[in-house]
Structure 1
Amino acid sequence: MKYIVCIVWLLSSASYGFAQSDTCAPQAIDTLTHEKTTPFQVAAVADTTGSVTAADTTNLYCINEVYLRSIWQDLKYTVARPAHWQQKNWLQFGAVAAGAGLLIGADHSVKQFFIHNQTTAVTSITNQIEPWGNAYSPYLVGAAYMAGMILHDRKLESGSLMAAKSLLISTAIYTAIKSVVRRGRPTYFNDNLNFKPPFTRDKYHTSFPSGHSNTVITVATAIVELYGKDHPWVPWVAYSVAGLTGVTRMYQNRHWSSDVLVGMALGHFVTQSVFRHQRAKEHKLVMKKMLY
């Protein structure tokens, strides 16, 4: 898959850039936890009264052992999250499941709607939007990392690595699901409940969930997590591009509508989980520093 190649390119180019620059300082040993950290990972605690501010919990990544190890840690955290869900989380899951169930019932009608409303003008537009779920999103992450290094923008550099990590984890999860749920693509089958046994190697049964939708929403959610609070227009733009990309997959008859919804929900959940884990680690580390 093109975006997996892009992620590998990002990590390899990032490793080369790290070797050529001093944006990441040498690792130091935390005297309290005996864990390896970098000066960028723990901001100076200005307030020792017990309050923890956002400025106190700034954690900026660079390519090193800590970052690479965090990918596996975040994967385990994400997979285990449902065991720690609260009522709000289960209600959200229920809403997505109910929505997917309704769309399964409407999949065929949605397919026919798009088939009978295709025009040359709309097709030319969707052809420009569709790559956001395949090549553009991963390339955007890689470009952001390189820009962060060139401009010495540590937030952009670290944020792009967070996005790359989220993309890698979400890709691994949805690929695993595809290998188990072998659902027929609407391009080849008119029955949206056409399935083959798990792990069957068949390109015709790779519909669920939508990889394009998963990829673009993963990157969109990462952008919103990083810049959404400071710039209210960011969520509107990021999620609009992601939503339109999902629509193109239905318009092009590549996915059922329920594939798109589940792909979107999965990518959004994974990225939010990765950022949630990061904030939890930052808070825990700063609290230890304050106590020490």
Structure 2
Amino acid sequence: MKILLKLMLCGMLLLQIKANAQTTDTTNLHYTDSTRSTETRTLTAADTTIRYRINGAYLGSIWSDLKYTVSRPAHWQGKDFVRLGIVLGAAGGLMGVDYEVKQFFGRNHTNFWNSVTGQVEPFGNAYSPYLVGGMYLAGVIAKDRKLEHTSLMTAKSLLLSTLIYTFAKSVVRRGRPTYYDDPFVYNAPFSMDKYHTSFPSGHMLTVTSVATALAEAYGDEHPWVPWVTYSIAIMTGTTRLYQERHWSSDVWLGASLGYFVTKGIFKRQKDLERKKALKAHMAP
């Protein structure tokens, strides 16, 4: 019943987005050619937007986006290295207090918070796939192409960030706080045991990827969406600390990975749409 209730709440969220969304599927962009000042080129949504369905084009985009994501560090500029420095600097700072954070949450366990964290924690694994699948079905049934497309973009972002996360977790075998008090316990790369699977937080990566995708898709039209999605992500990360499943630096890096991978995929999507619009504008 608890899972059913949360699925109903997710459905209500989708209906609210659907009710408030712009339902028109045409975007009139007027470009005036400087060499033909009397002629105006009107572009429709078909000229300027890319809307995915489950087909060969979508599956091909997963591979191309994976190559794009993995190769981005080779194209980074100054601001990108600044972001990297902030992420790594914050991670280093958190590693210095990981033990103290664990002790703080350990001293504050209560039956109430046990119940709350038990309800919130599944947003990082069980609920997110249901939400993405529900978005897709709602988009198909309601013929809402934006919602259908957003669900596929979210699924793609989640898949690619998870692939990178899985590789990172296989290489960096950090001891979980469930089993160790020392946050600097590591095992050899690719060693397969449950005790050294702390880095980074998969729950935080999952919920942050979904939160970022929804914020990117609907945040401009509905400013409340990022507040809701990121609040759920923060609460989910807190449950992982409370339950002693991850160190605070694991949660931070899981969130950073999910956020920046998803932002990059949506940025590339916008770049492709701009190229499509420019090509349509230049067509005779």
Q: Quick check: TM above 0.5?
A: yes
- Number of the residue aligned with 1:195: 186
Deviating more after overlay: 72-81 vs 100-109: 72-81
Alpha-carbon distance in structure 2 between the residues aligned to 1:175 and 1:52 = 46
Question: Which amino acid is 2:91 matched to?
Answer: A
Q: Does residue 276 in structure 1 map to residue 267 in structure 2?
A: yes
- Number of the residue aligned with 2:163: 172
Structure 1, unaligned runs of 5 or more:
1-41
Cα 1:44/1:244, change in 2 over 3 Å: closer
User: Shift of residue 79 of structure 1?
Assistant: 1.2
Structure 2, unaligned runs of 5 or more:
1-24, 34-40
Q: Is the 8 A contact 1:60 1:154 kept in 2?
A: yes
Question: Which amino acid is 2:99 matched to?
Answer: H
Cα 1:273/1:52, change in 2 over 3 Å: farther
Instruction: Indicate the RMSD between aligned Cα atoms, in angstroms.
Output: 1.9
Could you give the per-residue CA deviations for residues 212-240 of structure 1, whole angstroms, max 9, x where no partner exists?
00000000000000100111111111100
Q: Does residue 150 in structure 1 map to residue 141 in structure 2?
A: yes
User: Shift of residue 291 of structure 1?
Assistant: 1.4
Could you give the per-residue CA deviations for residues 15-44 of structure 1, whole angstroms, max 9, x where no partner exists?
xxxxxxxxxxxxxxxxxxxxxxxxxxx978
Q: What's the TM-score once normalised by structure 1's chain length?
A: 0.82
- Number of the residue aligned with 1:267: 258
Could you give the per-residue CA deviations for residues 177-222 of structure 1, whole angstroms, max 9, x where no partner exists?
0000000100011111111111111111110000000000000000
Q: SS at 1:47's partner residue?
A: strand
User: Shift of residue 287 of structure 1?
Assistant: 1.1
- Number of the residue aligned with 1:106: 97
Alpha-carbon distance in structure 2 between the residues aligned to 1:232 and 1:265 = 21
Alpha-carbon distance in structure 2 between the residues aligned to 1:284 and 1:48 = 15
User: Shift of residue 59 of structure 1?
Assistant: 1.3
Cα 1:146/1:283, change in 2 over 3 Å: same
Alpha-carbon distance in structure 2 between the residues aligned to 1:52 and 1:190 = 64
Q: Is the 8 A contact 2:66 2:160 kept in 1?
A: yes
Q: Does residue 49 in structure 1 map to residue 32 in structure 2?
A: yes
Question: Which amino acid is 2:175 matched to?
Answer: G
Q: SS at 1:259's partner residue?
A: helix
Alpha-carbon distance in structure 1 between the residues aligned to 2:81 and 2:73 = 8
- Number of the residue aligned with 2:19: none
- Number of the residue aligned with 2:75: 84
- Number of the residue aligned with 1:246: 237
Q: Is the 8 A contact 1:45 1:290 kept in 2?
A: no
- Number of the residue aligned with 2:61: 70
Alpha-carbon distance in structure 2 between the residues aligned to 1:290 and 1:44 = 13
Question: Which amino acid is 1:177 matched to?
Answer: A
Question: Which amino acid is 1:262 matched to?
Answer: L
Alpha-carbon distance in structure 2 between the residues aligned to 1:54 and 1:94 = 42
- Number of the residue aligned with 2:124: 133
User: Shift of residue 83 of structure 1?
Assistant: 2.0
Alpha-carbon distance in structure 1 between the residues aligned to 2:146 and 2:267 = 17
Could you give the per-residue CA deviations for residues 127-164 of structure 1, whole angstroms, max 9, x where no partner exists?
00000001101110000000111111110001000000
Question: Which amino acid is 1:117 matched to?
Answer: N
Question: Which amino acid is 2:32 matched to?
Answer: T
Q: Does residue 163 in structure 1 map to residue 151 in structure 2?
A: no
Q: Which runs of 4+ in 1 moved over 6 A?
A: 42-45, 50-54
Alpha-carbon distance in structure 2 between the residues aligned to 1:162 and 1:122 = 34
Q: SS at 2:30's partner residue?
A: coil
Q: What's the TM-score once normalised by structure 2's chain length?
A: 0.85
Cα 1:266/1:52, change in 2 over 3 Å: farther
Paired residue total:
251
Cα 1:289/1:52, change in 2 over 3 Å: same
